[in-house]
Structure 1
């Protein structure tokens, strides 16, 4: 395969697949962020409960 043919294949891939890959990457990032926020909320709740227990 020549250089021109390789460039055409890459351009075809970019033209048709880039938006799909980008959308999947955004979905993955949103899921990752939701998981991190959930973990922070759980950690905060555990720390808050432990703090309130020691006051009584």
Structure 2
């Protein structure tokens, strides 16, 4: 369980870095957009996985 969160955190950081690089360089705007989409997708995936593992009362 802890390893999954470590991987998700590393992916989130990677997507943020890609987004920043994409928005800093004008020709790489597409990289910024892809980075944002991947960041949101990874965040939603992590939240859904966390809810699925939560014990139901």
TM-score with structure 2 setting the length: 0.49
Whichever of the two has the greater Rg, that structure is 1
TM-score with structure 1 setting the length: 0.50
